[in-house]
Amino acid sequence: MFDLTNKVALITGASSGIGRASAIALAGQGASVAIAARRVEKLEELKKEIEGKGGKALVIPMDVTKKEDIEAGVKKIVETFGRLDILLNNAGVAEFASFFDMTDEQWDKTLNTNLKAYFHVAQAAGQEMAKNKWGRIINISSIASGGVAVGFPQVVHYCASKGGIVGMTEALADELAPLGITVNAIGPGVIETEMTQGITGDPQQSQGMLARIPMKRFGKPEEIASAVVYLASDEASYTTGATLYIDGGWTAS
Ligand SMILES: NC(=O)c1ccc[n+]([C@@H]2O[C@H](COP(=O)([O-])OP(=O)(O)OC[C@H]3O[C@@H](n4cnc5c(N)ncnc54)[C@H](OP(=O)(O)O)[C@@H]3O)[C@@H](O)[C@H]2O)c1
């Protein structure tokens, strides 16, 4: 089950958190992983870790807001591994700003990184998948995406971007199904990463959040990575257009 031998995966935002854990998990199932982000030194460390366990990794310096980085990255992957089968669209930013003070710069940075870049990376990677009539696009959204009754203050730009990802996932699932490409999203709850340190490391904020989570704990990046492996696999062959919420029961409560 979940064998990814001979598959090639691109993971954006692989330098930390969910992306890093997912790269390790995908490589553990046999995929060759192209690990992309801006902090190249962190990617080099990850490459060593994956190769130390017998896996194959390729470092891709990439600012996902730069189309030329995306195009050069995908070209390098195909030159190195000959194909591209799986995309984990994961790179993201979350910065707090109250609604009336939010600047255009803050809005644009969030939407460009969290939504427009997902479109650009999926477009470049999807073209390679279409050549082989097989592909997996997995987009990391959030429980803060609309439709699941979880709103957060001071991140209207972030919530808009994550809701956009769900819409994009459904539209792409429809359009790419005839090409053998499935498109799914994952909506994590609060996962312990660099992004959430301000919440998980603050007792008062933690308490407020934990009160809303039936499992009474935050998630680990590895608990998202295991769903990434499933959605990337042949076993998920009839799953497309879905958003899987992994949140300790938050959205169900
Ligand atoms: N943690 C949570 O509770 C949670 C919940 C719901 C959704 N998510 C989503 O999960 C995804 C991963 O977040 P995380 O929690 O793992 O946070 P993280 O540890 O802060 O990781 C964010 C990653 O995004 C990369 N990144 C940011 N801007 C980039 C850019 N312009 N170009 C390329 N890479 C960029 C960062 O790499 P560099 O800085 O090296 O470029 C880093 O690897 C995000 O989309 C986030 O919104 C997280």
Read off the pLDDT of residues 41-95 as tens digits, 9 standing for 90 and up: 999 999 999 999 999 999 999 999 999 999 999 999 999 999 999 999 999 999 9
Mean pLDDT along residues 88-107: 98
CATH of the domain at 158: 3.40.50.720
pLDDT for 163 equals: 97
Which amino acids bring their CB within 6 angstroms of ligand 1? 12-13, 15-19, 37-39, 42, 62-65, 90-94, 113, 140, 142, 188, 190-191, 193-196
Is the residue at 2 inside a domain?
no
Number of neighbours of residue 210 by Cβ within 10 angstroms: 15
Is the residue at 62 inside a domain?
yes
For the segment 130-179, what is each residue's pLDDT rounded down to a tens digit? 999 999 999 999 999 988 877 889 999 999 999 999 999 999 999 999 99
Q: Are 214 and 253 in contact (CB under 8 A)?
A: yes
Is the residue at 82 inside a domain?
yes
Tally of domains within the chain: 1
CA atoms within 13 A on the CB side of 88: 37
Q: Which domain holds residue 233?
A: 8-246
Percent of the chain predicted with pLDDT > 70: 100
pLDDT for 59 equals: 99
Q: How far is the CA of 37 from the centre of ligand 1 (A)?
A: 9
Q: Please check the confidence at residue 243 and state whether its pLDDT lies above 80.
A: yes
* Atom in ligand 1 nearest the alpha carbon of residue 43: 40
Among candidate residues 158, 230, 238, 245, the one labeled active-site is 158
pLDDT for 136 equals: 99
pLDDT for 152 equals: 86
Q: Please check the confidence at residue 212 and state whether its pLDDT lies above 80.
A: yes
Q: How far is the CA of 84 from the centre of ligand 1 (A)?
A: 22
pLDDT for 129 equals: 98
Side chain identity at residue 179, one-letter code: L
pLDDT for 147 equals: 81
Nearest CA residue ID for atom 41, ligand 1: 38
Is the residue at 253 inside a domain?
no
Is the residue at 251 inside a domain?
no
Is the residue at 252 inside a domain?
no
Active site residue 118: no
Is the residue at 55 inside a domain?
yes
Q: How far is the CA of 126 from the centre of ligand 1 (A)?
A: 21
Across all residues in the chain, what is the average pLDDT?
A: 97
Three-state secondary structure string covering 116-137: HHHHHHHHHHHHHHHHHCCEEE
Is the residue at 3 inside a domain?
no
Q: Which range is least confidently modeled, 14-23, 133-142, 202-211?
A: 202-211
pTM reported for the whole predicted model: 0.98
pLDDT for 31 equals: 99
Residues 20 and 234: their CA atoms lie apart, in Å, by: 22
